[in-house]
């Protein structure tokens, strides 16, 4: 089971690393916009909306990537003042809080995505930007946020299971905590 959880974390991180190429794409189209606007006096109507959309997607998935890689912001100096059992208990409380937070985030993302795709009368429509392009980027962004929240809840459950799996070894005194080199 622990190997499966590690494989899931690595898969999420691989997707994030691959998606980071999108940042280069944003730089390229932003460069194109600068050239079109200032050299040819012919600004585009699509670059700002598109770059905002792509960066938003990247940032949302970046949160998923950070959680899978255990690279999120944390204050280990408080946790590290305890012995192994105390650290396990602090981590257990943290896992509970994280799971509750992600479940609440999923709940909010579901209703946000629902409203972005379903009209109050029950018919399908995609929420659009309301700009001159009137792209469906808001609806797509909210659907992507929902998918990322589902992934986060799944990861939180897997990390919770992994934490419970080490409980016996921690309380027997046989558990050796892996180093957190580069994860601070």
pLDDT digits (tens, 9 = 90+) for 120-142: 999 999 999 988 889 999 999 99
* pLDDT tens-digit series, residues 50-82: 999 999 999 999 999 999 998 877 788 888 899
- What's the whole-model pTM score? 0.86
CA separation (Å) from 110 to 6, 11, 21, 42, 105?
27, 24, 28, 40, 9
| Confidence category of residue 180, pLDDT binned at 50, 70, 90 | low
Q: At what angle do helices 2-19 and 137-165 cross, to 10 degrees?
A: 150
Contacts of 65 (CB under 8 A, 6+ apart): 12, 13, 15, 16, 17, 71
Please report, rounded to a whole number, the percentage of residues in the chain having pLDDT higher than 70. 97
Q: Is the C-alpha dihedral spanning 38, 43, 47, 52 positive or negative?
A: positive
- Spatial separation of the C-alpha atoms in residues 154 and 107, rounded to whole Å: 14
């Amino acid at each position: 089971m622990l190997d499966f959880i590690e494989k899931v974390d690595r898969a999420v991180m691989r997707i994030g690393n691959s998606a980071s190429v999108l940042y280069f794409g944003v730089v390229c189209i932003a460069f194109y916009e600068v050239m079109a606007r200032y050299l040819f006096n012919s600004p585009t109507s699509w670059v700002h909306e598109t770059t905002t959309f792509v960066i938003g997607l990247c940032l949302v998935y970046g949160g998923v990537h950070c959680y899978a890689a255990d690279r999120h912001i944390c204050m280990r100096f408080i946790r590290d003042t305890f012995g192994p059992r105390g650290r396990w208990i602090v981590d257990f409380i943290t896992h509970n809080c994280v799971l509750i937070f992600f479940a609440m985030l999923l709940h909010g993302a579901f209703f946000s995505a629902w409203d972005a795709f379903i009209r109050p009368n029950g018919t399908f429509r995609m929420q659009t930007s309301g700009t001159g392009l009137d792209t469906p980027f808001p609806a797509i962004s909210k659907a992507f946020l929902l998918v990322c929240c589902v992934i986060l809840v799944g990861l939180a459950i897997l990390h919770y299971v992994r934490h419970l799996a080490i409980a016996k070894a921690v309380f027997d005194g046989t558990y050796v905590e892996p180093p957190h080199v580069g994860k601070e």
